Structure 1
Amino acid sequence: MSFNPSAIPYSRPHTPSPHGTAQYGFIGLGNMGFEMALNLARSLPAGTHLTVWNRTRAKCDALLAAAGEDRVRIAHTVQEVVQRCYVVITSLGTDQVVEETYEKLYKAHDAKVHQVTGARTRTTIFIDTSTIYPTLAAKLDSHCEQNPHRHFLMCPIFGPPAAAKSAQLVLVLAGAHAAKKEVAYALVPAIGRKIIDVGENVERAASFKLIGNGMILGTIEMLSEAMTMAEKSGLGGELFYSFIKDMFPAPSFIGYGAKILTDDFDGSKGFAIEGGLKDAGHIRRLVEEKNCPMPMVDIAHQHMLTARAYAAKLKDGERRWKELDWSAMVIGQRLASGLEPLDPKAHTGPVLEE
């Protein structure tokens, strides 16, 4: 993995670093977490390993097989991860799961510190990469501060599973400066390509992530509207998609445009629509609190609800995916426009002549 020093806004920690040989732990091996954990396990120095836990044991076994027994150890509980590790990273799906998990982690850490006293007591750093509401991030940080031997960092991530696999994620990091400095050179380039430092207030990182996801929701909604209009106008989605690639060659436009063009709405490979609805709900709540409208998010939220309802009514033989990707919100736009919701042939248009 290539390394760009300007991608990390901190100098290297002092040598020897108190966390230089710290064992790392990872909790939550979903679409994103699995790839991040695999890359982290492969990047750790010789003699160290990644301790992992996931609600479904099969994901842990798959990670062990991919990384090797010398790189990964499987914990039986989240408490065991804390007992073994001094840097614990979490990647979880909902605010409720995050809060419940951190309650267990902090209790386990309190017990760990109680067992080790004096100069041998070592600081544990907890890093949450989940998308959560800012007030929950503040609550986790406040709870963390009740024990002086730990730090909490909020580190939401930007990028699809493919970017996680290639370690090209963008990380937004907030929390105590010393803790950020200690872990930054393990996170980049192993997990991501760049860190955006937003200060010590962890609510800022959570807000940053929601605003960024609002832009992504708006991008998908805009693509849905434009490509559907191209179909209704008789141009065909394929012709208009070629224009998108020429004029808007950003990864989000190209990637989500391709999904819409081909009806590639497999949520197991991308970002599931349930997560999209959760994030849209958080953004709309933030919008109300800050009195700053984001109408595109409202429309995207409505179209995701429509897409989910439509998919739920499909018969078993008609269902192509176990769960929908959030780009399936185009189904709502197609239904409103009187088009077939799920038919790639109806959206690509005629084959263009060379």
Structure 2
Amino acid sequence: MARSTEQEQPDDVIWGFIGLGQMGYPVAMKLRENMPKSYTLLISDVNDGVLSRFVEHFENAAERNGPNSRPLNVQITRNARELAERSSIVVTCLPTPRVVKSVFDAMLIDGKLPHLKQERLFIDCSTIDPPTSRALARAVRDVLDVEFVDAPVSGGVVAARAGTLSLMFGTTTKSQKSIKRIKSILSLMGQKICHVGEQGAGVAGKLANNYILAINNIATAEAMSMGLRWGIDPKVLTELINSSTGRCWPTEVNNPVPGVIEGSPASNGYEAGGTVAVIQKDLRLAMSGAEDSGVGLMLASKADEVYTAVEKVYSGKDFSIVYKWMQDNTSTEY
């Protein structure tokens, strides 16, 4: 049953979602499932096949629910500008700062958007660098005089599909009413919502988090490799670690050893939840931000070298495949 939000609004409310990639697709699915049934969700992506599949999912779901069931309203838009013109809430979930900037340039290119009954709000769920996020927020405020929220997601594809993502957001607004509105919308896409601070704080917090993830992923692969080499059953070792001080997301949820965690990428041929390229992108954004801020990262360069080597061999695979790469490269001089 959909969680309610913005109940004071009329039934002809239209929201928009741009970016149906590995993470965006399940996030948009949860948003459409949880937002009020009478609302319309507009979708936009460069992949026409993905757009069609998204619409067909809800059409097929309605058919399965019986002859009197109507599909939830989902419409494909021609481009980002059209979506922005028609939507009171615009959510973006895109892969890189360059792509995010190009999409916002397209939405803002003709200046002011048509007036709507509901106040517009832009929510960017992409993981990008704070300077780019702040520049986009300024552009949105300067052109449209509306709020831009950075709200990156954490938890991976498995959590996105389950609706248990964490979303951390930054915003310039001091209005408790506006913050409550933002939280109510984000709660339709995830479970844990954290207001980090000023605009840009959301992506800054996400990069700090993903820096830990990038390092822990490699450390977990090394630890599991050690344990197996020493004759410990991988499930026993995982249980030990998860009840001890080494417990972390790569051991508990995204364990890199096939067969240890049912449904994990490693147990599914390393089918990507988050690719090697994506975790390396986040690592490099964190490295760049740390350098600009005068923060030293002792482990970053070595981790970057590892992901560069893994990407050359296993491009497109889940980043936990660093474990398999280590099995192929038994020398410690990688």
- TM-score under structure 1 normalisation? 0.79
**Residue deviations 1:296-346, cap 9 Å, x none?**
33332221112122347xxxxxxxxxx21111223454455349x9xxxxx
For 1:240-319, list aligned pairs within 5 A.
240-247=237-244, 251-257=249-255, 259-262=256-259, 263-264=266-267, 268-311=271-314
8 Å contact 1:133–1:206 — kept in the other structure?
A: yes
Q: Tell me what 2:79 maps to.
A: 77
Which one-letter code corresponds to 1:244 in the other structure? Answer: I
Instruction: Pick one of 311, 319, 329 that aligns with 1:326.
Output: 319
The answer to whether the 8 Å contact 2:2/2:36 transfers is no
| Aligned partner (choices 144, 150, 153) of residue 154 of structure 1 | 150
Amino acid at match of 1:227: M
3-state SS of paired residue (1:46): coil
Whether 1:337 aligns to 2:333 is no
**Pair 1:130-2:126 in alignment:** yes
Could you say if the C-alpha distance between residues 33 and 164 of structure 1 is closer, same or farther in structure 2, counting changes exceeding 3 Å? same
Structure 1, gaps ≥5 residues long: 4-11, 313-322, 342-354
Contact 1:121 1:149 in 2 (8 A): no
Partner of 1:99: 101
Q: Give me the whole-angstrom Cα distance separating, in 2, the residues matched to 1:20 and 1:198.
A: 32
* Aligned counterpart, 1:16: 8
Counterpart of 1:61 in structure 2: which amino acid? Answer: S
One-letter amino acid matched to 2:57? A
CA RMSD of aligned residues (A): 2.9
When structure 1 is superposed on structure 2, of 209-218 and 241-250 the one drifting more is: 241-250
More helix by share: 1
Distance (whole Å) between structure 1 residues aligned to residue 79 and residue 125 of structure 2: 19
- Mapped to 2, the partners of 1:240 and 1:270 lie a distance apart of 23
2:161 to 149, 162, 165: 165
Instruction: Tell me, yes or no, if the aligned pair for 1:31 and 1:161 is still in contact at 8 Å.
Output: yes
1:174 and 1:180 in contact (8 A); partners too: no
Aligned residues of 1:99 and 1:140 also touching (Cα < 8 A): yes
> How far apart, CA to CA, are the structure 1 residues paired with 2:156 and 2:113?
36
- Identify unmatched segments of 5+ residues in structure 2: 60-70, 260-265
Give the secondary structure class of the aligned counterpart of 1:192. coil
Normalised TM-score (structure 2): 0.83
TM-aligned CA distance change 1:2 to 1:81, over 3 Å: closer
Paired amino acid for 2:79? T
Q: Which residue of 2 aligns with 1:344?
A: none
Summarize the Cα distance change of 1:128–1:332 in structure 2 as closer, same or farther, 3 Å threshold. Answer: same
For 1:35, the equivalent position in structure 2 comes to 26
Q: Which amino acid aligns with 2:311?
A: R
1:149 and 1:256 map into 2 onto residues whose CA distance is: 42
Write out per-residue CA displacement over residues 177-218 of structure 1, whole angstroms, 9 at most, x where no aligned residue.
444432321321x2111211022x222111101000011112
**The residue matched to 1:130 in structure 2 has which SS?**
coil
Selected match of 1:214 from 211, 215, 218: 211
Tell me if structure 2 keeps the 8 A contact 1:237–1:261: no
- Cα offset, 1:123, TM superposition: 3.1
Query: Structure 1 residues 130, 250: closer, same or farther in 2, change over 3 A?
Result: same
More deviation in 324-333 or 221-230? 324-333
- Preserved contact between residue 120 and residue 147 of structure 2 (Cα < 8 Å): yes
Q: Show CA shifts across 1:95-124 (max 9, x none).
A: 11000001111225x2424xx5xxx77532
Q: 1:43-79: per-residue Cα shift (whole Å, max 9, x none)? A: 2223211000111011111111222343211111111
Which residue of 230, 233, 248 corresponds with 2:230? 233
Aligned-partner residue type, residue 231 of structure 1 = L
Greater relative contact order (CA < 8 Å, ≥ 6 in sequence): 1
Question: Equivalences for 1:41-60 in 2 at 5 Å?
Answer: 41-60=32-51
Task: Supply the distance in 2 between the matched residues of 1:268 and 1:27 (Cα, whole angstroms).
Answer: 23
**Could you say what secondary structure the match of 1:271 adopts?**
coil
Equivalent-residue separation in structure 2 for 1:203 and 1:197 (angstroms):
11
Q: Is the 8 A contact 2:104 2:136 kept in 1?
A: yes
* 1:307–1:330 contact (8 Å) kept in structure 2: no
**Percent of aligned pairs with the same residue?**
20
Judge which range, 125-134 or 43-52, deviates more: 43-52
Q: Which amino acid aligns with 1:337?
A: T
Instruction: Indicate conservation of the 8 Å contact 1:217/1:300, yes or no.
Output: yes
**1:162 deviation in Å?**
1.3
Please, which moves more after superposition, 273-282 or 223-232? 223-232
Q: Which moved further from structure 2: 139-148 or 260-269?
A: 260-269
> In 2, distance between residues paired with 1:206 and 1:89?
15
